[in-house]
Amino acid sequence: MAGGGRRRRRLHLSKIYSYTCGKSSFKEDHSNIGGPGFSRVVYCNEPDSPAAERRNYTGNYVRSTKYTVASFFPKSLFEQFRRVANFYFLVTGILSLTDLSPYGAVSALLPLALVITATMVKEGIEDWRRKQQDIEVNNRKVKVHDGNGIFRQEQWRDLRVGDIVRVEKDEFFPADLLLLSSSYEDSICYVETMNLDGETNLKVKQGLEATSSLLHEDSDFKDFRGVVRCEDPNVNLYMFVGSLELEEERFPLSIQQILLRDSKLRNTEYVYGAVVFTGNDTKVIQNSTDPPSKRSRIERKMDKIIYLMFGLVFLMSFVGSIIFGVETREDKLKNGKTERWYLKPDDAVIFFDPEKAPMAAIFHFLTAVMLYSYFIPISLYVSIEIVKVLQSIFINRDVHMYYEETDKPAQARTSNLNEELGMVDTILSDKTGTLTCNSMEFIKCSIAGTAYGRGITEVERAMAVRSGGSPLVNEDLDVVVDKFAPKVKGFNFEDERVMNGNWVKQPQAAVLQKFFRLLAVCHTAIPETDEETGNVSYEAESPDEAAFVVAAREFGFEFFNRTQNGISFRELDLVTGEKVERVYRLLNVLEFNSSRKRMSVIVRDDEGKLLLLSKGADNVMFERLAKHGRQFESKTQEHVNQYADAGLRTLILAYREVDENEYIEFNKNFNEAKSSVSEDREALIDDLTDKMERDLILLGATAVEDKLQNGVPECIDKLAQAGIKIWVLTGDKMETAINIGYASSLLRQEMKQIIINLETPHIKSLEKAGIKDEIELASRESVVKQIEEGKALLAASGSEAFALIIDGKSLTYALEDDIKKTFLDLATGCASVICCRSSPKQKALVTRLVKSGTGKTTLAIGDGANDVGMLQEADIGVGISGVEGMQAVMSSDIAIAQFRYLERLLLVHGHWCYSRISSMICYFFYKNITFGVTVFLYEAYTSFSAQPAYNDWFLSLFNVFFSSLPVIALGVFDQDVSARFCYKFPLLYQEGVQNILFSWKRIIGWMFNGLISALVIFFVCKESLKHQLFDPNGKTAGREILGGLMYTCVVWVVNLQMALSISYFTWVQHIVIWGSIAFWYIFLMIYGAMAPSFSTDAYMVFLEALAPAPSYWLTTLFVMVFALIPYFVYKSVQMRFFPKYHQMIQWIRYEGHSNDPEFVEMVRQRSIRPTTVGYTARRAASVRRSGRFHDQIHKDLVAF
């Protein structure tokens, strides 16, 4: 509400976040402020002051485009001619302007101009879209203070450092702002940071009391002045060091007072803020880096083929020049004429002068380099780009990868890596949110040494199948609590002993009460009460925390209100048996982070006792228990291990009473530490909290289930059958990760496990002694020893399947330079690999190791901000658009909504794209060698006189019009095998992993086929016209007739070769293949009808010379047959006696064996290499479990 009248909310949340609560003192050292890295000075509400203008800070205009209007042409042209092929054609185009050119300059430069223009237009369109996004962002409006207590709408681009802005609910912050006040009296606000860190949960920010107490209305800003001194622009999203000078006082600033650009205001009517960083200085822009440049292996190999063709062109030119020089030198006058009189050497300055033969040879070399340029496919790059874009469109529009629940289709964010999807050797996957739903449900708990909760998890079912029972299931497996969706989101707990208030009848009711109270109080959730129904819902920072608060409510401890002073909840009184409201005064919140692995609150209960309530990971909580607080430790540890075995995420709950004097001392030191602006502020806080969170009394443990996504086990099993190795990189406990592996079919009962950890008695004793150097040395030696033992097991095992499981500590040593090669050898020999307790950095390092160490294609898949490094490091990064925000998606190459879609993405689209691109490139070089060799042979036939066989425009338009569209159609529509058979025969995928379809053998084979076609075309055409009259008038065939005949044969042969190569005809292929041939005749007639000055030797050549001659048509027919017979014979023999895997599958389809189970199984077993360990184990296990071989085959067939 602009102007002044506004309603300020009466909610005080100053102490929700401990690191900002309390009035800050300013006794700490401020030596950093004003020094290097801390030199920024912001004059709040005075952006026009001379002091502010002298600073000359950057404006708020941001640009994400690659080009500007001025730089587009020079920069884009530079990018195009960085490609060696384009640069080569540029050089030959320039040379075509000289007398050395064997053809006209226009015909040489026009195709290059068309290709370059097409690519530049594509780049320009992509950059224009980015420009449109920039315009939309820069033109957004925000209310800015005009200096007179009035706020007016201005565009984001016009903001300056020091401006005061008012941001309304659900608006984005236009710059990095210092929070001054909000619609809440204690100046808190809720912020969604999904665009920054990928997290969808709301964060709480709070302004300083000094500003919130002064600035209540728009008019209050008329006389407001302040100076911010702070750090310089940097990339750290989670830290800010600075101070605010206000009315001759200085107040420390932290990240808690900073509202970052591109985050959004939520659940708060409005905030006022001072602009601190603008434009490129904002933290989000500082963090925006160009994604790593990724090129597919096929594209890199294609470059090598181009270099090979360059070498061939230069070799041919060199050899031809030597022959030409020798013949020119020996071309002496005889009877007043030279032997090659028809070349008119008398008219030549150098070319045919026998006295200047060396120079003639040099000039011929340059001419030949231009003439043989047609060996290089000028339209190859642009054609591949077009094909990849169209392939990406098909991926994006595949309804089988559309997730209706969230309305999210697959999204190919880059088209550069389509064929890489068909070559993946190793998948590295996150677990939470990727394999699982990241939707937590409270399902079990252990309180006072007693286990509660009768639900059966998916993992327990998998455990029961493989071991005959589950340690946590006493009932029959058919009795499933969670077979129906839970009535309450986040709560899937069933146990009559504690539900409906029955917990009061338990022997340890007092402990249960403390446990449930801790769940209701120890959190940072925000309650929201529906005014109509009275129901309370919660806004929590994580799904786990929301599940705990919901569980407390369902147990009868309903948290319903949070104020500045405390937390209110309702509970059942043990004495009266009535519902009572209790208010705990909230003093401090010691927040959770990945290093602490715990969070605590310090509260004063309604009896005046000071309590520290804590929850955290078992490996940090058990060591913090007091001697008298370990009464239930052994039982709780046993239950926690069982919960981990069941695939559940566990937390330990504990508490202690705090002495008044101890708390006073802690609070004093804590306030000083959190008010510090020194670089060691976080370390000081962690040290104080570590001392406080000691001598705890154990209450119990919680267990929440993160369910597997639908289809995950089936997807993993199918990928494993395809021979793809699957690694899971997770931060979970080893036991949890192992059992999730069983539930997801990543692990199977028949697999032997190689477990590498540092849980040896020797290392544990060293850890207790605290000898750091010895611990590190012993740990390193232990890891090396375990890796070597694992390799020995693999070597002795034969065909047995192994799974490698390693924890984060061991991984630290395994990734060291002198160990990682041995570790990789062990890991690649295993069917499955699970890395537990791994950090985001370790995930990226493991991905890098696999990518560089194996030299094969890696795919990383994840859904959270902690997976970004892994996604960018892998050859292909796949982001899951799940509940953890869009950070992973924004950093990915492909985005999908569910893990199960990976099966179709790789086995179907991946295989198709790989097969299509491989065939497309091979065919490109085939047709260009066919065309180029005819040019070479004709020049050799004419004594290497640099005489082209064809008209200038025939030469130029071959790659652009007469042979390019069919190859594009091949790259977009061809299917060697249908999607159904891709699923049915997953081992087909190995053709891409081993690069069978783009091996040097196949590439050279296609080149050799082109050579054969060219030899047939040239010699049949030449010999057919050699000793006969061409028309009834007695004329013999000249160059224009021979050239026209050869060109016709080339067009027919290369297009018919395409028709023979296609596995899956559509109407598009028919149109482009037969249309390209028809277009040649139409062009020849139209071009030949033009004036001789333009059409030159093609003038009326078709209508008057070629078409009337029967020999023209007969020769064309014979050439087509003879040129294609070698390929047809080879293909028939090869497919009948030496078929590739996809050809065996084609035989099944063509011969009607798809319903013959034994024949299908025989083809399945004929692998193109020894079957991978993982595939053997999975296939064998699947058959054994089926009971009978034929039953298994029948099930497979029914599935399809």
- Which residues are known catalytic residues? 430
Q: In the sheet where 40-44 sits, what is the strand order?
A: 40-44, 226-230, 242-246, 249-253
Which residues is 700 bridged to in the sheet?
447, 653
Cα gap 211→188, rounded to integer Å: 12
* Residue whose token pair is 């054969």: 1012
Sign of the dihedral defined by the CA atoms of residues 440, 445, 451, 452, in that order: negative
The values of phi and psi at residue 541, to 5°, are -80, -15
Name the E strands within 375-435: 411-412, 424-429
Report which DSSP code applies to 959. Answer: I
Contact (CB, 8 A) for 1111 and 1030? yes
Tokens standing for residue 867 = 């997976």
Tokens standing for residue 303 = 């470059």
Cα gap 329→339, rounded to integer Å: 11
- Interior/surface letters 369-386, b for 16+ CB within 10 angstroms, e for the rest: bbbbbbbbbbbbbbbbeb
Contact (CB, 8 A) for 555 and 495? no
Give which of 899, 901, 872, 905 is closest to 887, Cα–Cα: 872
Chain centroid to Cα 1043, Å, comes to: 51
Cα gap 412→878, rounded to integer Å: 9
The values of phi and psi at residue 679, to 5°, are -70, -20
Element spanning 536, H or E: strand 536-539
How many CB atoms within 10 Å of residue 644?
A: 22
CB-facing half-sphere around the CA of 440: CA atoms within 13 A:
22
Instruction: Give percent helix, percent strand, percent coil of the chain, each to the nearest 5.
Output: 50, 15, 35
DSSP calls for 1043-1106: HHHHHHHHHHHHHHHHHHH-SS--HHHHHHHHHHHHHHHHHHHHHHTS-HHHHGGGTTIIIIII
Contact (CB, 8 A) for 341 and 352? no
The values of phi and psi at residue 527, to 5°, are -85, 145
Tokens standing for residue 865 = 């901000």
* Residue whose token pair is 């642009």: 382
* Residue whose token pair is 């026209």: 1044
Which residues is 894 bridged to in the sheet?
412, 878
How many CB atoms within 10 Å of residue 847?
A: 26
Contact (CB, 8 A) for 924 and 1003? no
Element spanning 370, H or E: helix 357-371
Which residues is 1027 bridged to in the sheet?
none
Which residues is 558 bridged to in the sheet?
570
What residue type is 203 in one-letter code?
K
Tokens standing for residue 914 = 């790989």
Tokens standing for residue 138 = 């820069």
Given the DSSP bridges, would you call strands 894-896 and 411-412 parallel, antiparallel or unpaired? Answer: antiparallel
Cα gap 546→537, rounded to integer Å: 9
Contact (CB, 8 A) for 17 and 256? yes
Long-range contacts of 784-789, Cβ-Cβ distance < 8 Å, separation of 24 or more: 784/813, 784/819, 784/822, 786/754, 786/756, 786/810, 787/756, 787/814, 787/819, 787/822, 787/823, 787/826, 788/822
The values of phi and psi at residue 248, to 5°, are 65, 15
